[in-house]
Amino acid sequence: AISLPKPHERRVLTIANQKGGVGKTTTAVNLASALAVQGLTVLVVDLDPQGNASTALGVPHHSGVPSSYEILLGEVSAADAVQQSPHSERLFCIPATIDLAGAEIELVSMVARENRLRNALTKEALGPRDYDYVIIDCPPSLGLLTVNALVAAKEVLIPIQCEYYALEGVGQLLRNIELVQSHLNRDLHVSTVLLTMYDGRTKLADQVAAEVRAHFGSAVLRSVIPRSVKVSEAPGYGMTVLDYDPGSRGAMSYLDAGRELAARGTQKKQGNE
């Protein structure tokens, strides 16, 4: 099996874009799976009350299962909420249950409300397993759950759908990231942009890709995720596309993206921007 280089230290990435349907969850689970297939140990934290990442990873997430909700509240340690994905020895998930839907409001009155996820995901709280990557899947909003995810990570990965209005809302997202950076988490930066649902037959997709590359430069991965039915079918079987159809273009593209992401993580650290 191919094995990717381990990062120098655990990498925590938040997948954010307040637009729904741009491929956040699909990217969170498939990128995680791609890293795991290639030898790394990965934890996905599902922070969307919809629980789509948990579903795609084949992990139970009915109400009452220890989840991201309980770890935000401090009722359960992160280690006790972790479940192994049934299709991989190296892929793990802290699921989201519907209880998380109330958290956005419950958090408002809590102490250190923006820091709760960070405090819940310390090395100690996560227990002895040596995760190389922690990938946090955000809900489609810029509320307190997303803020918690931005505070808990060093890196933001923004998936951008190669469609009309692709960059709509991205300015607002970047302003929020800057606010979090200046007030709550100095280390935060947009390390990665991934183009998703690319349809090579359309001129529009190329235009969007060019625009995104002009805007984000080297943060944009060279690998692009094609629009593919296999990618959208896989979650229905509780699988990532890498398990569902490993030879498909969708699976290959996420493997490529994983390789690129991992290679960047071992390059010498660049100065803070």
Q: Of ligand ADP, Mg ion, none, which one sits near residue 29, judging by CB under 5 to 8 A according to partner kind?
A: none
19 binds Mg ion (CB under 5 A): no
Rounded Cα distance, 219 and 112, in Å: 31
Stretch that binds Mg ion, among 24-32, 191-199, 235-243, 256-264 (CB under 5 A): 24-32
Which one of Mg ion, ligand ADP, none interacts with residue 225, CB within 5 to 8 A by kind? ligand ADP
Among 140, 132, 98, 100, CA closest to 117: 100
Residue 147 interface partner, choices ligand ADP, Mg ion, none, CB cut-off 5-8 Å depending on type: none
Q: In terms of CB distance, is 36 or 194 closer to ligand ADP?
A: 194
CB of 8 to ligand ADP, least distance (A): 29
Euclidean distance between the first and the last CA atom of the chain, given in angstroms as a whole number: 36
Minimal CA–CA distance to 52: which of 92, 96, 5? 96
Q: Which stretch binds Mg ion (CB under 5 A): 22-30, 73-81, 110-118, 155-163?
A: 22-30
Of 37, 83, 100, 59, nearest in space to 241 by CA: 37
Which lies closer to Mg ion via its Cβ, residue 145 or residue 180?
Answer: 145
Residue written as tokens 């991205």?
170
What does the block give as tokens for 191?
């390390």
Q: Smallest distance from the beta carbon of 21 to ligand ADP, in angstroms? A: 4
161 - beta bridge partners? Answer: 196
Interface residues with Mg ion (CB under 5 A) are 24-25
